[in-house]
Structure 1
């Protein structure tokens, strides 16, 4: 019982509890839409990996260009208001795409336009949401809250694709997209119902919150460089399952949308177990933990490329998902818990930029390689490169473990405002 209480400790905070419930519904429906969108692209393009890669690249290109500015906005303005506006905008975008599909007039360029607009809003929403977690729960509960965030995300990633596969088969793509459009209201309502007085906000926000100051701050922190670098490599060559799984289902196992959902859910199930495993973390993980989990991910992804049957692929994807999420959480916690609160929005913006911004390049490369070499070679190559990067990090890691010093934070550290217990 005591272990159970520790696992869900951050949910005792009312504001975070509201946030999790709203996000669980919204993210589940978002994963439903991801499956629906990818399936629609394959149908419209004749199973083209390049077309699927182009859509993914369009969605994540704004992350490359705008996420650092999004982190600046998160440090400068009220994160709560930014999240409300961002989610309302995302809902309107999903509604427009859903209507195009239902009316039967959707074309590939419509999906490209939607992906580009979605990425633009996400470039502001993502760093704001990630850095807002610490304001809801405070530094002490941040590792647990971050793990719980990963848990709801992966519950959604288990349920969403499985439900989407069934709904697409029965209702087609359009209704699934429209359901997602409505789901953004869940996040909006949960954020509106929060008690601002109970947030752990900095006593003062920087007046300028310049992007360059955030980059200089990170440059003075070698202990943040290693996880950032590994996130970049694995994000570029390893975390391309949004493309590889539908291609694996269609071109290797010759199955339908239900099996595609099953592959996605298997990856997410392993990720969910890893998220719950990291709820016990109470402090900042070491560089060895970050690099070791990256090593395990690379090895498992490479082996997944050898899977001879769908059931074996599902099993290997579950193990790969566990290693992937364990690495993602370890790197996230090492970066967030080592960052000054006044810089956290910009630090996590760079983390988001590296984590998601490498996706456009990876998507185009994955699409091209899958068409010319086959999707299995994408998994082999991504796994082996990730493995090499992690092994290099294990060798060079001791150079990147210097703890923070007062000189690393030229501006005074922001302390949380004491708030009543929820």
Structure 2
């Protein structure tokens, strides 16, 4: 199950990913709790999500060209250092009680721009380090680490907020302290990357950046299977991922929970996601990947429908674990297939185009957020699950070649 970890450079990349993942999860929970505490608005959470994902989508085409033309190791180090510095600034204004809603919007925009470069780079360097046959295993292990952080990170963040809110220090200062811890983890992520021997050397530059960009678009126009994988990975996820962003609303409206309960719900999802990723890592180089990917998407939608009407904390935690299991199995498998079937010379640009498409996910979050605001969160989530089922079925008919994928290589 852990073949990829025998490679030293991948171990360093994996440790870097672990620091980044734990920091991100703690940041998400603390930020979500504070924003909903400040605004009591599901749409406020949606706008913060958009502030990150929209610039990530807008700049990702440029980010993909940069990834293919520059040293990948240096790009990862620089982006993580800038991310850590921005988080320190947000930590300070939060801790002193001067934080405003618009600070989160500005922070999201800045991180979105950084992510348009750093995320394609992280995706593109993995096959270079581990080789094509280990891509599924390596990707699943990285995502398993991310999902392990979804278990421990929310509990730690929610517990810290609860401790400080119960004493003389208010919850704003508690969130500020969590943000400072996150800054340290982001810095450690950059430090581990420094020790990578693999540089992620750029392709030979014989064309202009604009020509490189059009080459990536022409590649996708020719490769219908890869285009289909990108669209299949994107459209159902528009509706499926909204449950993650609106979890603070579900926690308060349905469970009537506090920050500790939000941490428990998030940890349950993290456990399910971890199981899904480890299952994929164990299966690794299996056949019939295409049909199994579609089955996971259907399972994800059904789990959301069940979760929407679970009014008890531990029943909701169990349903949330099922959501995350199917979500991460589907997402990891889709991403791994896209990586395996894309040649190295254009891999960074394809990764950036994938991220650009995924940056359009707020288009689905907006109507779901409005429904939660006008009606309630349960109706909104159930509607999202129905849309996810319908879109998966339609895409299976529009891109039948993606259902015929066996191992995805050789």
Which residue does 1:316 correspond to in 2? 319
Matching of residues 46-125 of structure 1 within 5 Å: 47-125=40-118
Q: Which moved more, 1:275-284 or 1:345-354?
A: 275-284
Contact 1:75 1:206 in 2 (8 A): no
Contact 1:235 1:354 in 2 (8 A): no
Of 163, 172, 178, 1:170 maps to 163
1:397 offset after TM fit, Å?
A: 4.1
Q: Does 1:145 align with 2:127?
A: no
SS in 1 for 2:99: coil
- Matches of 1:292 and 1:306 in 2, distance apart? 23
- Matches of 1:117 and 1:141 in 2, distance apart? 33
Contact 1:41 1:108 in 2 (8 A): yes
Q: Does 1:133 align with 2:135?
A: no
Contact 2:10 2:130 in 1 (8 A): yes
Pair 1:398–1:368, CA change in 2 (3 A): closer
Which residue does 2:237 correspond to in 1? 235
Contact 2:30 2:157 in 1 (8 A): yes
- Matches of 2:246 and 2:105 in 1, distance apart? 19
- 1:319-372 CA-partner distances (Å, limit 9, x unpaired): 1111101110121122111101111111111222223x1233233323211111
- Matches of 1:60 and 1:379 in 2, distance apart? 20
1:201 offset after TM fit, Å?
A: 5.2
Question: Under a length normalisation based on structure 1, what TM-score does the superposition of the two structures give?
Answer: 0.89
Q: Which moved more, 1:388-397 or 1:286-295?
A: 388-397
Q: Does 1:264 align with 2:258?
A: no
Which residue does 1:349 correspond to in 2? 352
- 1:267-291 CA-partner distances (Å, limit 9, x unpaired): 1111110101111312676322222
Q: Which runs of 5+ in 2 are unaligned?
A: 165-173, 406-410
Of 13, 26, 33, 1:39 maps to 33
Matching of residues 273-422 of structure 1 within 5 Å: 273-279=275-281, 280-282=283-285, 286-355=289-358, 357-400=359-402
1:230 offset after TM fit, Å?
A: 2.0
Contact 2:43 2:373 in 1 (8 A): yes
SS in 2 for 1:105: coil
Which residue does 2:167 correspond to in 1? none
- Matches of 1:119 and 1:113 in 2, distance apart? 10
- The CA RMSD measured in Å over matched residues stands at 1.9
Contact 2:67 2:202 in 1 (8 A): no
1:136 offset after TM fit, Å?
A: 1.9
- Matches of 1:369 and 1:399 in 2, distance apart? 35
- 1:43-84 CA-partner distances (Å, limit 9, x unpaired): 221x11111111111111102201121111111111110000
Of 5, 15, 35, 1:11 maps to 5
Matching of residues 205-216 of structure 1 within 5 Å: 207-208=207-208, 210-216=212-218
- Matches of 2:288 and 2:15 in 1, distance apart? 27
- Matches of 1:292 and 1:146 in 2, distance apart? 20
1:203 offset after TM fit, Å?
A: 6.9
- 1:280-327 CA-partner distances (Å, limit 9, x unpaired): 312676322222211111111122112132211111111111110111
Which residue does 1:30 correspond to in 2? 24
Question: Under a length normalisation based on structure 2, what TM-score does the superposition of the two structures give?
Answer: 0.91
SS in 1 for 2:241: coil
Contact 2:55 2:113 in 1 (8 A): yes
1:238 offset after TM fit, Å?
A: 1.2
SS in 2 for 1:282: coil
- Matches of 2:228 and 2:59 in 1, distance apart? 23
Which residue does 2:169 correspond to in 1? none
- Matches of 2:401 and 2:181 in 1, distance apart? 49
Pair 1:184–1:284, CA change in 2 (3 A): farther
Contact 1:56 1:360 in 2 (8 A): yes
1:22 offset after TM fit, Å?
A: 2.4
Report how many aligned residue pairs link the two structures: 393
